[in-house]
Amino acid sequence: MLYETAARAAEILALNVEDLDLEHRRAPVRSKGGAIEWVYWDSGTAHLLPRLLRLPDGSTRTHGPLFLSERRPVPARRPAAADICPHTGRARLGYDRARVLLDKHASLDLHQLRHSAATHLGDAEVPLQLIMGKTRHKNPRTTMRYVKPGAEAIAKVTEVLAPRRRTH
């Protein structure tokens, strides 16, 4: 989901089940500046979300945090009621734990997924403005940091500089 939305990890971890618009494959997130913006995902996330929402009895979670920790919180570390799943009693997955799990199971960094999405969009020759829209960066310089043309893109651009062929 982080890769397909190109969103910040904290924004995605803050999502609640009731925020998801599964039909249109989107969800509202609170951006860095506090504004509410939409993030969009594609088939990979759309395929996995129903599995994430399924409860052991076969029913589906309808509200509460989207991403949950493995265990229920101990009384000494009880989070806010909004951060506990009413169906399972498990707490919202925190940034630090998500970072550890992703590193352990996939050898990836949470923020690396956002950067990879921007880089792959650049490799696919998506215009900078669209990449900025997807990543929700406000400054083109920030976005350009992640858009590094690969060897194929450089070779393709080189063709533009080649002398024109004569047709007669």
pLDDT reported for residue 73: 77
At 157, the pLDDT band (50, 70, 90 cuts) reads: confident
pLDDT reported for residue 28: 97
At 50, the pLDDT band (50, 70, 90 cuts) reads: very high
DSSP reduced 3-state for 152? helix
Residue 26 phi, psi (nearest 5): -155, 165
Q: For the segment 119-134, what is each residue's pLDDT rounded down to a tens digit? A: 899 888 899 999 999 9
Asked if residue 123 lies in contact with residue 146, where contact means CB atoms within 8 angstroms, the answer is no
Asked if residue 9 lies in contact with residue 67, where contact means CB atoms within 8 angstroms, the answer is no
Q: What is the pTM of this model?
A: 0.83
C-alpha–C-alpha distance, residues 137 and 129, integer Å:
10
> Which residues lie across from 36 on neighbouring strands?
30
C-alpha–C-alpha distance, residues 9 and 27, integer Å:
14
pLDDT reported for residue 86: 93
Residue 18 contacts by C-beta under 8 Å, 6 or more apart in sequence?
Answer: 62, 63
Q: For the segment 78-106, what is each residue's pLDDT rounded down to a tens digit? A: 888 899 999 999 999 999 999 999 999 99
| pLDDT over 90 (residue 164) | no
C-alpha–C-alpha distance, residues 81 and 92, integer Å:
10
| pLDDT over 90 (residue 63) | yes
pLDDT cut 70: percent of the chain above it: 99
| pLDDT over 70 (residue 168) | no
Which of these ranges, 10-14, 47-51, 78-82, 83-87, has the smallest mean pLDDT?
A: 78-82
Cα–chain center distance at 35? 17
| pLDDT over 80 (residue 65) | yes
| pLDDT over 80 (residue 9) | yes
Asked if residue 91 lies in contact with residue 84, where contact means CB atoms within 8 angstroms, the answer is yes
